[in-house]
Amino acid sequence: MIIHKTFKLSKLVLILLILPTLIFAEPTADVGKTVFKNYCASCHAKDMKSALTGPALYGAEARWADFAREDLYEWIRNSQALIAKGHPRATELWNEYKPTVMTAFPALTDEEIESVLLYVEGVGSGAIGGKPQVTAGAGGVVAEEKSNNYIYYILFGLLGLLAIVLARVINNLSKISAQRDGTVYEGKTLKQTLTSKGFVTFALFGLIVLGGYTTVNKAVDLGRQQGYAPEQPIKFSHETHAGINKIDCQYCHDGARRSKHAVIPAANTCMNCHTAIKVGSENGTAELTKIYASVGYDPNTNKYVEDYANKSEEEIEAMFKKWISDQYLVGNGIEKLDKEGEREVREQWDNIVASLTNDQKKTVGGPIEWTRIHNLPDHVYFNHAQHVSVGKIECQQCHGKVENMEVLEQHAPLSMGWCINCHRQTEVKFDGNEYYESYEKYHEELANGTRDGVTVQDIGGLECQKCHY
């Protein structure tokens, strides 16, 4: 969770830093970041310093400094064209990397390219990313959502103070009145006050009220886990997939439109893309290897392993360790594994084994056991198809802005009150669905204007056996 928060914070700072410049549509690192993630990140390393499919980008400007800036633009837009022209730098790179062809991006504007370069240099030099650098005064105050609780605390304190003052006043008045009467006033000691009947009764009453309140609230919350964001066996980022790469939710969660379950995709759905995209930025490569280990895909040879279930553990380990170490070598541009590399390979493999196995599952092969986040009690029937295909509700309405979640968390409380509330407010999509024609009276009322809309409640959406049977 800590990581998550700082990540968000750093982004916020970043945005605040660059906010003023953004308005003028000049090349900015932020635009560069987006462009980089959209177009470059699948082949070029995120740290800008290691080579993946494509070369490390840091220092590219320096390396192209001898040539016209336009050459660099052209190179990025369509490298093959430049090679064909026989540009010396282009030919040099081609000889190094052929036959891997860089994808052409003819649509990139000069500003976008400049932005990417800005971003690349920023990241490479450590000016962007890494540890959050709070440069005060650049953009203003970092706004945090504040709770109103302090008002109550102040109020509570004031009242307490008032009570003490009043008690004091009463005490003094009693003293004065006693003096006038000529009697000796014996003020209560603190102990006497605290053990007096009134105080004890009050304290008990307060305790019971507080205790009851807490108990009831806790009991109601029992089993709810809003905000639950457990660590998953694979550091799958919805932000990368749904946010940056804009993959449709239902591409992977293909049950949502036709089944009660949205369905956690089978590993072979991942393989639709990841047979091609084998390395990723940050954790990507290490995490992708887990998918290969699950389905039995040899990334070294780009082939599915035959009879994977019966392969020995050593064979599997050797296969993936080779892949990991090769990636390390490529990433660091070295020929032989160094000490650091050996440790890295060992650690990555151990991590893979730890993520994919448990008490019941002894081998890395086989299904990935994700940690379930959204849990409805067994006596609740919920159907995704009803909400997605018929109700045409956006996924985000219940699941939050998943496309912004690096680590997925439960957005909604998933409580019955929450469901009911939505059923009260949501209007049924009567138009265009012949099914609802059987609600003749509502149609009449809608037509003659006596009714504005039909909510889910109006067609029985609050009845017990719509969800419990």
Partner 1 sequence: MDKNKIWIGEKDLTMAKDFVENSQKEFQSNPAIENAKLAEGAMQLGGDRRDFLKMLGFGLGAATMAAGCDIPVKRAIPYVVKPDSIIPGVATYYASTFIEGGIAEPILVKTREGRPIHVEGNSMITGHSGVSPRAQASVLSLYNTNRFRTPQLNGAEGFTNASWDKLDARMADALKGARNIRVITNSTASPFAKSAMNAFKNKYPNASIVSYDSVSAAGLLSANEMCFGSKIVPAYHFDKADVIVSFDADFLGAWLGGGYQADYAKGRKVADVNNPKMSRHIQVECHMSLTGSNSDNRILVKPSEQGAAIAALASEIVGGVSGPKLNAKATKAIKKVAAQLKAAGSKALVVSGSNNTYEQVLINAINNALGAYGNTISLSGAKTSFTGDERDIETLLNELPSNNIDVVIFNQCNPLYDSPNAAKLKAALSKVKTKVALSFSPNETSAICDVIAPVNHFLESWGDADLGGGAKSIVQPTISKLFDTRQSEESLMRWSGIAIDGDDYALGAMKKAWKNNIFPTQSNFVSFQGFWDSVLHDGGFKGTSKSYSFSAPSLAGISGKITKPSNAELEIKFFESAHMGNGSGSENPWLMEMPDPVTRTSWGNYLAVPVNFDGVRTMLGYNDLKDGDLVDLKVKDVTYRIPVVQQFGQMKGTVALALGYGRSNGGPVGTNVGADVNSVLTLEKGHIQYYNTNVSVSKKVGTEENFSCVQYHHTFGIKGQDTETGETINADEAALVSVTYGVVKQGYQGSLTDRSVVYNTSVGELKNSIARLKEKRAEAQHLNENTMYPFDEYTETKYSQGHHWGMHVDLNACTGCGACTIACMSENNVPVVGKREVSRHHEMTWLRIDRYFYGEVENPNTVYQPMMCQHCDNAPCENVCPVNATNHSSEGLNQMTYNRCVGTRYCANNCPYKVRRFNWLDYTTADIFPANQVGLGLDTEVPFYGDNLTRMVLNPDVTVRSRGVIEKCSFCVQKIQAGKLTAKVEGRRLQDTDVTSACASACPSGAITFGDMNNKKGDLSKKLHSDLNYIALEEVNVKSSVTYTMKVNNRDASLDA
Residue 19 or 459: the one with the smaller Cβ distance to partner 1 is 459
Interface with partner 1, residue 469, by CB under 8 A? yes
Number of residues that bind partner 1 (CB under 8 A): 56
Residue of the chain from 267, 286, 352, 395 that contacts partner 1 (CB under 8 A):
267
Terminal alpha carbon distance of the chain: 38
Residue of the chain from 62, 143, 219, 276 that contacts partner 1 (CB under 8 A): 219
Residue among 125, 272, 371, 404 that touches partner 1 (CB under 8 A): 371
Give SS3 for 86. Answer: coil
**H or E segment and range at residue 298:** strand 297-298
Distance of closest approach, residue 243 Cβ to partner 1, in angstroms: 22
Closest separation in Å from C-beta 224 to partner 1: 9
Contacts of 90 by beta carbon, 8 Å cutoff, 6+ apart: 75, 79, 82, 83
Residue 106: asked if its preceding bond is cis (omega within 30°), the reply is: no
Residue 197 or 441 having the CB closest to partner 1: 441
* 3 state DSSP class of 54: coil
Stretch that binds partner 1, among 66-74, 78-86, 145-153, 372-380 (CB under 8 A): 372-380
The residue within the footprint of partner 1, chosen from 146, 180, 191, 441 (CB under 8 A), is 441
Figure out which of the listed residues 260, 392, 401, 424 binds partner 1, where binding follows CB under 8 A: 260
Q: For residue 426, state whether it binds partner 1 (rule: CB under 8 A).
A: no
Contact between 272 and partner 1 by CB under 8 A: the answer reads no
Scan residues 275-314 and list those touching partner 1 (CB under 8 A): 294-295
CA 426, chain centre distance (Å):
27
How far is Cα 224 from Cα 290, in angstroms, rounded to an integer? 30
Instruction: Please name the residues in contact with 467: beta carbons below 8 A apart, sequence gap of 6 or more.
Output: 380, 381, 382, 419
Q: Of the ranges 70-78, 109-117, 163-171, 261-269, which one interacts with partner 1 (CB under 8 A)?
A: 261-269
Nearer to partner 1, 144 or 378 (CB): 378
- Residue 354 CB partners (closer than 8 Å, separation 6+): none
Does the footprint of partner 1 cover residue 383 (CB under 8 A)? yes
Q: Which member of 172, 215, 272, 425 binds partner 1 (CB under 8 A)?
A: 215
* Nearer of residues 145 and 440 to partner 1, judged by Cβ: 440
Cα atoms in the 13 Å half-sphere on the side-chain side of 337: 16
SS3 228: coil
Q: How many CA atoms lie within 13 A of 219 on its CB side?
A: 6
Rounded CA separation 246/404 (Å) = 11
Match 């009453």 to its residue by tokens: 205
Q: Return the SS3 of 447.
A: helix
Query: Nearest approach, Cβ of 370 to partner 1 (angstroms)?
Result: 5
| Chain residues in the site for partner 1 (CB under 8 A) | 215, 218-219, 221-223, 225, 230, 255, 258-261, 263-269, 294-295, 366-372, 375, 378-379, 381, 383, 385-386, 389-390, 432-435, 437-442, 459-460, 463-466, 468-469
